[in-house]
Structure 1
Amino acid sequence: MRRSRLDPAQTARRMRANAGQSAAVRPISDAPRLSGAAGARAMGSAAEHDAPGAQAPSGATSRLAARLARRPRLALILVFLAALAIFLPGQATLPPTDRDEARFAQASRQMLETGDFLDIRFQDSARYNKPVGAYWLQAAAAWAAGGADAPIWAYRAPSLLAAALAVALTAWAARPLTGGAPGLLAAGLMATCVILAAEARLAKTDAPLLAATLLAMGALARVLLVEGGRRWSLVFWAAVGAGALIKGPIILAPVAGALLGVMLARRSVAPLAAIRPLQGLAVVAAIAAPWLVAITLKSDGAFWSQSVGRDLLGKLAGGMESHGGPPGWHLIAAIGVFWPWAALVPFAAPWAWRRRREPAVAFLLGWAALTWVIFEATPTKLPHYTLPAWPALAMLLAAALLAPGALPQPGAWARRAAVALWAPPALALTLAAVVGPWVIMGAPAPGAALIGLVGGGAAVLAGRALWRWRLHAFAPLAAAASALSVAAVLHFALPALTLAFPAPQMARLAAAHRCGDTGPVAVTTYREPSVVFALGTDTLMTDGAGAAAALAEGRAALAWVGDPERAAFDAAAGGMIALETLAAFNYSNGKRVTLTLFKLKREGAACVA
């Protein structure tokens, strides 16, 4: 552990002097390290939140961050609430999405329906590609919202809360690494980046995993760079155990990268001993082993063959479900994934590289680099895979933004390149909100158009500020453009695209024509998980002939038949009534389909339509 270069009296005087400067945070390389009693107050001490930082440029954003940095607990609460407000639009209005979200939500619902919280099943099939953590969270949220029939927003609630918590934990984790004000700025970058905005609105594993990762990394930073001690070591390993129960070994990538970075910076393996690995393995085992042992016994080992053999090793062997991509795919995708901040990351890279031997910077570089390299080397590519790396890059970018002279105005060509990288996602979001529903559905979504235009205006002003390299103006404008544009798309524009989200309509129309028959609905062609979530666990996924047989034999009350299966259905069916017709676009396979709702005509039936 490094000792402070200042004695306690000098440290106190410097802290009081900095408190009087509304935008003062010291650069990473110039900040004293904490030790002893000061380090023991890592969660809330003024000493820690004034630890490594950067001289803030003029601007309301940096002044606000500096003021809040002096009240860290209040700052974390406000950051959490602000993130909740940013992520709330779209939670209830966006229909269940295919395929992962609907599978997660349906499997969690079945836990409530059956009372079996050990096994993971989608209808009658085992779903063992991920551990149970996210399912438990979703089932608990749905139970609190009324039970298995709770709407989709209840199943998304853990992702909403975890994403907001991850934003607050970004500020908390950054304090021993970059300082209070840069940490708050990094939290703002995460709260307004596109990828976390999306994951906050999806009932999946990635937002809860990010929260667990940030808790682990914040505790690890305190073990390695501030004070050590058993308390933060226990927090670190508990977070690793929680992350393992949510998404398996993924959490180890940032952990291993940060450890490796600090060991290289210090040219010592002492950091490895500081985390108390033997004690840590016991903590992780206490958290994850009970369920892993139980599911191993219940599934007769099938959990391991599916989760490791098929899912994990399958993704390492090749692109699964047409999601393959070459190395460098994530680098290109970053333009949209970390919009509106990705265009600034290359400009901060030289500043961070010059400080790579400082333990705090090495910690962040190792965290981001190893995580990134692993997912670039993995043939299966999806945009959210690199999410655990982005907080580290956000912290480095925030520290550079607030460091004096770290990001001098580049030349014209470099600024053109930055604007060229920044503009396409801004334009895409604005067009998706303003004209997307009009083009696809033939009618605008007024809320999407209005908010999208305001967000687009903020994007234009942000782009102008970026071109002029007025970063103190660019930051709040870009944040506003992102929050408004994403809200317009997810809360208004996408829900208006009923063509792409037919499952809720299929459920409503089926309910209107049941006439008291509570039997299941048979579905052909559009056999997507969102249909099961909308129509119920007993939904029959079949073909045309199977749908006709299910109606004739009384095993189904209604049948949705797609036009590719219509000939087989008509050949096998007799005495069927066509009730409704629905056009749909299956974005999972890129195909349009027309669905017709059928019912068996019964003699003397009082309700036929």
Structure 2
Amino acid sequence: MTGHNLSSPKETERASRIATLSPVLVALAVFGVYLSLGSRTTFWDRDEPRFARAAVEMLESGDYMVITFNHESWPDKPVFTYWLMALAIRVLGPTELACRLFGVIGTALTCGATFYIGRKLLGRQAGLWAMLMLASTLQMLVIGAAATSDAVLLPFTIGAMAVFSSTRETRVRPVHVILIGLATGLAMLIKGPMGLMPALAIGAVSLLDRERRKSGLGLMGASVVMGTIIFCAWAVPASMAAEGGFLREFIGRHVIGRALKPMESHGGNILLYLPYYIPVVIGGFFPWTLHLPGAMSALLRRHLVGPSDRRFFLGWIVPPFVLMSLAATKLPHYIVFIWPALALLCGGVIVAARAGTLAPKDKDWLRGGVWFFGPVAAAVGLGLVVGPWFVPVPGMRAWGAAGGAVILTMAALAVREHLADRPQRSAIVLILGMVAFQIPLQAGLLPAVEQVKISPALAREVNEHTGPDVPVAAYKYGEPTLNFYLGRRIEYLDSADAVLAWATQPGPGVLIIPTDRLVPIRERADNLPLEEIATVKGFNYSKGKPLEVVALYRGDIR
């Protein structure tokens, strides 16, 4: 008995240490997996190379106020993401991993903030589950290691929600206002009005909660004011430096314009009039749609959290979902702000199921998750197995079959456990399956796809044959990856006549043109004074078609 009493404090201390370190270890594991994921591919058109090239040009020019792409004003997004990329590039060089680094860091920090909220509202175990769930969704795998602004934005918006969650236990203090205001301002410097998502959620929660309505609305108002001041501290001088162009273009086109009409073919079809983001959740939140219906049922039926925390989650999820559904331009990542909330609810429902606190209806909805999960699992798994047979890429069939086998096996085992009322076991299967899927994904599938990317190979050939001062023009091929990998300004020609005029100009130059566009131009010209230096066949995934592109040299290449 004495020995037991002596060892008990050590066991307690060890358990406490493990409990303290577990979220840190999960965040580090997420960082490692996503860092590896970000190192496996060249950039994907079109957003990644635009961000990356703009950051490189920022370093080259030394102008950290006005953003340019292809040495022209680029008011697509505010400046903070470019600053972070430029910092990483200065340290690591202009590589893909450098440009993706802060997105990877952001993903790990977002998981950490999600755990913090879960610990406050649902308990430590639910918070740990939520971290793993969030990191393993398809949507996070797409954006979490990308050289774009989404994963950089999330730690600030979810961080603001984490601070707000801490006010649920006490009154709003000045430190809460400062932290949420600062997070809002930096989020706006990353993605403009999208950085106001926490303020929207805080306002909605406050309207639902009579007891905290006044303080909550005051916190929302203060965060909007502070965020706007921080945003304008850069945006106003930057717009003045660009002769008013930034605010006019960014606010007018990219904010108001996207809200009122579909842009860049995003939303301009029948999906505009349908609940677009429901299939986005079903697909993008995979594989955790297996548990999501039960989680939503338990939330709505008041079996998961108390009334105050129920309002917290409803205010977090519903307004952004509705607002983005009403906007004309729709993209899947526009609602990724609610992903941590969904992950927390799914983590909570697993803990509640194990504790036996779910109602029969909740259990029915939990089992019913197979109807949302199953079709996506079958589509992804069978697509990986069958799809490579229609794409002649060496190695793709074997690795596709391996990846598809992992997904289909994971799905079958998870569904079996789930229908046997063992949701925790089904969740463990999903975690292990998504981790196992990283092996064929990173070792085979992504490297195989590199073989059909056109711009990196074409740029490599051009840079080997010509010096960095030789000007480059392009006709009917305008993928931004070419800008990044060439590392030069590209003159875009708008007609066949412009190509003919360019070809007869004095001095050296390189023309990038699809082969099928070159043939009729050669037929018009008796003797086109251009020498072929490279031809690359591949797949233009931005256009969804195979393509052959040729690089032609003007002048004496010798």
TM-score normalized by the length of structure 2:
0.87
Q: CA deviation at 1:116?
A: 0.8
Partner of 1:297: 240
Cα distance in 1 for partners of 2:393, 2:218 equals 62
Partner of 2:284: 337
Q: CA deviation at 1:373?
A: 0.7
* 1:373 matches 2:322: yes
State whether residues 441 and 497 of structure 1, in contact with CA within 8 Å, keep that contact through their aligned partners in structure 2: no
State whether residues 432 and 493 of structure 1, in contact with CA within 8 Å, keep that contact through their aligned partners in structure 2: no
Counterpart residue type for residue 76 of structure 2: N
Counterpart residue type for residue 284 of structure 2: V
Q: 1:160 aligns with which of 101, 104, 119?
A: 104
Cα distance in 1 for partners of 2:517, 2:301 equals 63
Decide whether aligned partners of structure 1 residues 486 and 385 sit closer, same or farther in structure 2, where only a CA change above 3 A counts.
farther
State whether residues 429 and 485 of structure 1, in contact with CA within 8 Å, keep that contact through their aligned partners in structure 2: no
**Within 5 A, what are the aligned runs for 1:181-260?**
181-260=125-204
Secondary structure in structure 1 of the residue aligned to 2:167: helix
Bigger shift: residues 161-170 or 248-257: 248-257
Cα distance in 2 for partners of 1:559, 1:183 equals 54
Counterpart residue type for residue 370 of structure 1: P
Secondary structure in structure 2 of the residue aligned to 1:522: strand
Q: 1:401 aligns with which of 323, 328, 350?
A: 350
Q: RMSD value over aligned CA atoms?
A: 3.1
Partner of 1:353: 300
State whether residues 393 and 449 of structure 2, in contact with CA within 8 Å, keep that contact through their aligned partners in structure 1: no
* 1:528 matches 2:474: no
Counterpart residue type for residue 123 of structure 2: G
State whether residues 159 and 207 of structure 1, in contact with CA within 8 Å, keep that contact through their aligned partners in structure 2: yes
The one-character-per-residue Cα deviations of 1:376-418 (angstroms, maximum 9, x if unpaired) are 1112111111100111122122212211335467799967853
Q: CA deviation at 1:422?
A: 1.2
Identity, in percent, stands at 28
Partner of 1:315: 258
Partner of 1:476: 428
State whether residues 257 and 367 of structure 1, in contact with CA within 8 Å, keep that contact through their aligned partners in structure 2: yes
Q: CA deviation at 1:489?
A: 3.6
Q: CA deviation at 1:447?
A: 5.3
User: Structure 2: where are the runs of 5+ without partners?
Assistant: 1-8
Cα distance in 2 for partners of 1:473, 1:69 equals 25
Decide whether aligned partners of structure 1 residues 500 and 336 sit closer, same or farther in structure 2, where only a CA change above 3 A counts.
farther
Cα distance in 1 for partners of 2:550, 2:150 equals 36
Partner of 1:127: 74
Q: CA deviation at 1:110?
A: 0.8
Secondary structure in structure 2 of the residue aligned to 1:380: coil
Cα distance in 2 for partners of 1:189, 1:123 equals 39
Decide whether aligned partners of structure 1 residues 469 and 151 sit closer, same or farther in structure 2, where only a CA change above 3 A counts.
same
* 1:427 matches 2:387: no
Bigger shift: residues 450-459 or 381-390: 450-459
Partner of 1:40: none
* 1:180 matches 2:180: no
Cα distance in 2 for partners of 1:304, 1:601 equals 43
Q: CA deviation at 1:221?
A: 1.4
Partner of 2:62: 115
Decide whether aligned partners of structure 1 residues 517 and 227 sit closer, same or farther in structure 2, where only a CA change above 3 A counts.
closer
Bigger shift: residues 412-421 or 264-273: 412-421
Cα distance in 2 for partners of 1:224, 1:398 equals 20
Counterpart residue type for residue 141 of structure 2: A
Counterpart residue type for residue 547 of structure 2: V
Q: CA deviation at 1:157?
A: 0.8
The one-character-per-residue Cα deviations of 1:321-373 (angstroms, maximum 9, x if unpaired) are 11103341110121110000123212222211133872122111111111111
Cα distance in 2 for partners of 1:545, 1:586 equals 25
Cα distance in 2 for partners of 1:412, 1:256 equals 32
Cα distance in 1 for partners of 2:17, 2:420 equals 28
State whether residues 321 and 335 of structure 2, in contact with CA within 8 Å, keep that contact through their aligned partners in structure 1: yes
State whether residues 286 and 376 of structure 2, in contact with CA within 8 Å, keep that contact through their aligned partners in structure 1: yes
Decide whether aligned partners of structure 1 residues 113 and 299 sit closer, same or farther in structure 2, where only a CA change above 3 A counts.
same
Secondary structure in structure 1 of the residue aligned to 2:59: helix
Decide whether aligned partners of structure 1 residues 286 and 600 sit closer, same or farther in structure 2, where only a CA change above 3 A counts.
closer
Bigger shift: residues 404-413 or 518-527: 404-413
Cα distance in 1 for partners of 2:405, 2:506 equals 52
Q: CA deviation at 1:162?
A: 0.5
Bigger shift: residues 118-127 or 589-598: 589-598
TM-score normalized by the length of structure 1:
0.80
The one-character-per-residue Cα deviations of 1:201-246 (angstroms, maximum 9, x if unpaired) are 2111111111101110011111243453222332111111111111
Q: What is the aligned residue count?
A: 538
Partner of 1:76: 23
User: Structure 1: where are the runs of 5+ without partners?
Assistant: 1-18, 23-45, 47-63
